[in-house]
Structure 1
Amino acid sequence: MTHLFAHINKLIALSIQNELITPRDTIYVRNRLLALFNEEEYEETELASGDLYETLEHLATLAVQKGLIEDSLYAKDIFTSTLMDTFLPLPSLIEEKFFKAYEKSPQAATNYFYKLSQAANYIKMSRIAKNVFFKANSPYGAIDITINLSKPEKDPKEIARLKTAPPNKYPSCLLCIENEGYAGTIKLPDRANHRTIGLTINKRNWRLQYSPYLYYNEHCILLSETHEPMKLSKDSFYNLLGFVKQFPHYFIGSNADLPIVGGSILAHEHYQGGCYKFPIHHATTLWEFQMKGFPDVTCKVLNWPLSTIELSSPHLEAVAEATDAIYQKWMYYSDEEADILSHTEDVRHNTITPIAEQCDGNYVMKVVLRNNRTSPEHPLGIFHPHSDVQHIKKENIGLIEVMGLAILPGRLLEELEVIKNELKGEAVTVADHHLTWVEELKKTYSSNEDLDLFMQNALGAKFSRVLEDAGVFKLTEVGLIHFKHFIETL
C-alpha cells in the first residue's frame, strides 16, 4: 500500500499548499483519508508526483482496485469529492472567513471563496481547461465562442442505469440548498465538497455559490433558499441591484421566466453573475431617450442583436422602478406587423432578460426584450434560432448567450475538423446537417486564408444569426421603426 500512502501524502501536501489546511492538520487528515480506504496501517513514504487532478485520479483508481467503488465516472467523482470534503471546514466556518474577508473588501471575500471552490475540486478546473474558447468578429463587435468539452460523456452502462434508476426526491433539484454536502448518486452529481455562502438581499435569504462548470471567470450563482419556480417581478430587479450593491465588482443577471426564452432550470429561482465583461457590455448606443417619470435615469437603446434597453442612474431605486415600468409595459405590448403578440388567449409570451451591474458610480440595468411565441413556420419559437442555424445552436437562448457568449456542444469540435478537411479538398464525409453550410463556405473560402481563423469567424457569423433570430425588433430600417414605436410608449 506504499503507492496509496504516497498519493495520500501528496494530496495532503497540495491541500496545505492551497491553504485548505495547515501542517498542524496533517495527522488528523491522513487518518480520515486512511479510514476512507479501510486502511488500518500506515508507513512513512515519499510524496507521489502529480497535480491535484492527477492525484485524485490515482486515488480513485486505487479505490476501484480495492473494490471500494465501481469503475465508473460518477462513482469516482463521488469518491474524490468525499476525499476533498475531508479538507473543508463546516459551512458556518467558511461563511465566517468570507465575511471577515468582506470587511477588507467585497473582492477579497469572493477571491477567498473562489479560490477555495477550486482548491476543493468543486470547480473541476482540469475538465474546464479542455473547453475551446475564442473570440470571433461580428457586426456588433467581438463575440465569445466556447465549445463545451468539460462535461465527460457517460458510458453506455451508466446511460442504461440512468433510465432505470428511480427519480430523486431529495434534493428537489440541482440548485436546492440541500445539495450542500450531498454525496451524489448516478442521477445527481457529487456535492460533498460543495459549500455556499448565506446572504440577505432585499429582505430575503439567498445562497451564493460558484458554478461547477464555470463558463466564464468567477461564474457564480445566487439562489433562493426556498425551492420556488423562476418568476420575474419588481422584487427580481431589486434583488439583482441589491446584489451588485453588495458586490460592485460583479455583474448579475436573470434568465427570462418563460419556456423557450428561459434558461435550462426554471424550477428554482436563481440568478447568474461573475467577474467578466461580456460582449453586450461593450455594445455601442443607437440612440438615447427619456422615460416619463424617471428624470434621473439615462435610457439608451443598444446596438445589439437582441433588443436591449440600458438604464443607468446613481439611484438603485430609480433603476429598479424604471426596469419594472418597462417590464409591465412590455408584458402587454403587441405589434402584429413585427410578429409580436403579448398573449395567445390567456398564455403570456412577453418577458425580459435583465442584467445588472455597477459602472462609474451608477447602477446599470440592461433590459433585453423577449417573446416565446411559436408558429407553424417556426415551431421551436419565432424568436428562437431558426432551422438553418440549428445545426450550430438549437437550445434555448438563455442569459449567457444573450450577453454574447455561445456555449456550443462538444460534438462540434470533431465536426469542424471534418469541415476544414472538406474545404482543403480532402475526401471526407460531412455530417448531413452541415452540408448546406459547407457549400456556402466553399464560395467564400480562399486557400491562402488561415483556415482556423476562417472557421472561427464563420462560426461567429452563425452565432450572430442565432442572436439576431432571438431579437424581437430586427436591426433593420423597418425593425428599428417598430422598436421606436415601443419606446414611445415609455
Structure 2
Amino acid sequence: MIYAYIDKLVQKAKEAELIEAADVIYVRNQVIQLFKLEAFPEESAVEKLSDDLSIHDVIDWLVSYATDQAIIENLLDMKDIFAANLMNCFVARPSAVRETFYDKYKQAPTAATAYFYQLSKNSNYIQMNRIKNNISYKIDTAYGVMDITINLSKPEKDPEEIKRERAMKKDVHYPKCLLCKENEGYAGRIGHPARSNHRIIPIELAGETWNLQYSPYVYYNEHSIVFSDEHRDMKIDRQAFERLLHFTEKFPHYFIGSNADLPIVGGSILSHDHYQGGCYEFAMTRAEDSFQFPLNNFPDVTASVLKWPMSVIRLRGKSSIELVNAGELILKSWRCYSDKAAHIHAFTEAVPHNTITPIARVRNGSFELDLVLRNNRTTAEHPLGIFHPHADVHHIKKENIGLIEVMGLAVLPPRLKEELGEITKLLLGKENTVKDYHQQWADAIVQEYGIISTVSEAEQIVKKELGKKFVRVLEDAGVFKEKQSFQRFLDILN
C-alpha cells in the first residue's frame, strides 16, 4: 500500500493547492527517494483509500511505514524529522511563500493570514492530528467565560531519546534557540524539532525586521508567534509597546501580546524577544471596567482597571502614539513602585521584580493596550513567587502564568486527564484512585454536591470546580488584592 499512500499524499497536496498539476511527477519522485524506492508503478491502488483521509492521516501512515521498514529509527524526533522532510517536498520555497503572502495582503490582511495559516496546517507544520487530542472546553466563572485546555498534543519521549537529547545539547548550538530565523528549513535533530517544512514571513515593526509564524501546537485560532530577527533577550519597554500597536495597524483583525521579561512571571523562552498573537477573543478581552481613572497628561486616553482576577490597566484611544506614551508612564512608574502593605517590593538589592505583560488590539475603531502588572518576588513562604499560583493550587497548575493564561485560557498538564477522571468516579460513588494531592479538593467537592447519579452531571461539576481553581490561580498572580491598594499606585501616575 506504500504506493497508494504516496499517491494519496500527492493527490491531497494538489487539492490543498500546495502543488500544481505540473509538479506531480517531480514531487512524487522526491517522496519515493525518501522511502528508498527506485520506481513507481503505473497503478498504485490509490482508489482503495478513503477520500476522508486528511494530509495529516496520510503522513501518520507513511511515518509508521518508514519506522516499520527501518527506514528511520523509532524515535519521536526522528519520526518528526522524516514527516517534515516528506512535506517539504510539497511546500514552496520561502521567497515564493512570502511573495504570495504579500500579494494577498494587498487584497486584505485577513486574506494574507488566512493563506499562511492554511499553508502551515496543510504542510503539517501545525500538528493538527496531535492538537485534536487536547481536551478543551469553556466554563462560566465570576469573570466571564474562560477556556480550559488539558494539553495532550505533545507525545512523551522514551528514556533512550531523552538520554541522547541531553548528550546532543552539549555539542550543538545551531540554531541558537527554537525561535531563531535559522530554524526555517532546518531538518532538526535529537533534541531540536524538525523544521524542514517551516516558513516565516518577515514584517517591519517600528523600524525593525520581525518575523511572523504560527505555533506548531496552536492553543487558539491562528495562534501566531512574532519574533525578532535578532537573537536577543525579551524586553518590555516603550519600543515593545510601539511594535505591538504597529502590528495591530498592519493586522487589525489580530490581537498581539508579550510575555513579561522576568523569570517566574515570564514565558518559557526569555532568551529571544518575541510576541504571540492571533484571531481570537479571550475572556479578558471581554472583561468590563471595574472603574475608570484619570491620566492628567493624556486627556485623549481613557484609562480603566478591569474586572479581572489579575491587576490589569486598560488604555483606549484613537492615537497609538498617545497610548505608547501613557503606557511608558505606567511602565516606568511600576518598575520602581513598592508598597509594603501590599507585599510589593520593586527591588531586592539591585534585582528588579516589577514588570508588565502587555496586550494590544484594535476594537471599534480605537486602539487598546492592556497592561497586566506583574511581580516575581519570592519569600520563604512562597518560594515559587508571592504573585504566582500558591501551594494549595499546585495540584492543578504549578507552572508559570504566561500571556495565554493571563488572558483567560488555562493550559493545564496532561496528567489531569486521568486524575480528573478519578475525581469523577469519587463523585459517582465508585471505586477510585484519587491522588493524595487532589484528595482534600475532591472531598470538598463531594461534601458540597453529594453523590451524583449520572456521569455527565459529575463530569460537568468537576469541570466547573476546575474552572474555579483556575480563577484562584489567576487571583494569586494578581499583585493588587483590593481596590484601595491599586488606587495608591494609580495616584502616583498623576
Please report the TM-score for the alignment, with normalisation by the length of structure 2.
0.96
AA of the residue aligned to 2:344: I
The yes-or-no answer on 1:127 pairing with 2:126 is no
- C-alpha displacement of 1:448: 5.4
Determine the structure 2 residue equivalent to 1:195: 199
Aligned to 1:11: 9
Q: Which of 357, 361, 370 is the equivalent residue of 1:357?
A: 361
Letter paired with 1:482: S
The aligned amino acid for 2:413 is P
Q: Is the 8 A contact 2:31 2:86 kept in 1?
A: yes
Q: Which amino acid aligns with 2:21?
A: P
**Secondary structure of 1:237's match?**
helix
2:71 corresponding residue in structure 1: 68
The residue aligned with 1:37 is 35
Deviation readout 1:43-73 (Å, 9 max, x if unpaired): 0222144322221122112222433211122
- Partners of 1:230 and 1:257 within 8 A in 2: yes
- Which whole-Å CA distance do the structure 2 matches of 1:416 and 1:69 have between them? 37
For residue 160 of structure 2, what is the aligned residue in structure 1? Answer: 157
Q: Which residue of 2 aligns with 1:207?
A: 211
For the pair 1:92 / 2:91, whether they are aligned, the reply is no
Alignment of 1:126-275 (within 5 A): 126-167=129-170, 168-275=172-279
Q: Extract structure 1 runs of 4+ deviating beyond 4 A.
A: none
Aligned pair count?
Answer: 484
1:368 is aligned with what amino acid?
Answer: V
Of residues 448, 451, 461, the one that matches 2:458 is 451
Letter in 1 for 2:435: A
Aligned Cα RMSD in Å?
Answer: 1.1
Report the CA distance between 1:431 and its aligned residue. Answer: 1.0
* 1:296 equivalent in structure 2: 300
Distance in 2, Cα, partners of 1:264 & 1:156: 23
Q: Which residue of 1 aligns with 2:474?
A: 467
The CA deviation at 1:136 is 1.4
Matched, 1:396 2:400: yes
Amino acid of the structure 2 residue aligned with 1:220: S
Aligned to 2:291: 287
Amino acid in the other structure paired with 1:415: E
Separation (CA, whole Å) in 1 of partners of 2:326 and 2:169: 47
Alpha-carbon separation, structure 2, partners of 1:374 and 1:313: 36
How many Å separate the matches in 1 of 2:376 and 2:173?
30
Query: 2:443 maps to which residue?
Result: 439
1:323 corresponds in structure 2 to: 327
Q: Deviations over 1:107-129 (max 9, x none)?
A: 00000000000000000111111
Q: Would the aligned equivalents of 2:353 and 2:377 in 1 still touch at CA under 8 Å? A: yes
Letter aligned with residue 285 of structure 2: H
Deviation of 1:155 after TM superposition, in Å, equals 1.9
1:383 CA displacement: 0.3
CA distance in 2: counterparts of 1:328 and 1:52, whole angstroms: 50
Aligned match of 1:28: 26
Q: Kindly report which structure 2 residues correspond to 1:299-310, keeping only aligned pairs within 5 A, or say none.
A: 299-310=303-314
User: Structure 1: any 5+ residue segments left out of the alignment?
Assistant: none
Query: Counterpart of 2:441 in 1: which secondary structure?
Result: helix
**CA contact 1:137–1:461 (8 Å) conserved in 2:** no
**Mapped partners of 1:212, 1:327: distance in 2:** 32
- Structure 2 CA distance for aligned equivalents of residues 133 and 64 of structure 1: 31
Preserved CA contact (<8 Å) 1:333 1:341: yes
Matched residue type, 2:480: F
| Contact 2:27-2:89 within 8 A present in 1 as well | yes
* Aligned counterparts of 1:245 and 1:289: Cα–Cα separation in 2: 26
Q: Residue 318 of structure 2 contacts residue 366 of structure 2 at CA under 8 Å; is this kept in 1?
A: yes
Partner of 1:46: 45
TM-fit CA distance, 1:436 = 1.4
**TM value normalised by structure 1:** 0.97
In 2, Cα distance between equivalents of 1:102 and 1:78: 31
Mapped to 2, the partners of 1:100 and 1:427 lie a distance apart of 61
Kindly provide the CA deviation profile for residues 318-364 of structure 1, in whole angstroms up to 9, marking residues without a partner as x.
Answer: 01111111000001111100001111111110101000000111110
Secondary structure of the equivalent of 1:486? helix
| Pair 1:118 & 2:121 matched | yes
The answer as to 2:85 corresponding to 1:82 is yes
**Percentage of identical aligned residues:** 50
Please give the secondary structure, in 1, of the residue aligned with 2:141.
coil
Q: Measure, in 2, the Cα distance between the counterparts of 1:27 and 1:270.
A: 40
Q: In structure 1, what residue type is equivalent to 2:45?
A: E
Q: Distance in 2 between matches of 1:140 and 1:38?
A: 57
- 2:144 is paired with a residue of what secondary structure? coil
In the aligned structure 1, how far is the partner of 2:68 from the partner of 2:287? 55
Residue 133 of structure 1 aligns to which amino acid in structure 2? S
Q: Any gaps of 5 or more consecutive residues in structure 2? A: none
SS in 1 for 2:386: coil
Q: CA deviation at 1:256?
A: 0.5
Retained in 1: the 8 A contact 2:257–2:403?
yes
Distance 1:109 1:187 in 2: 32
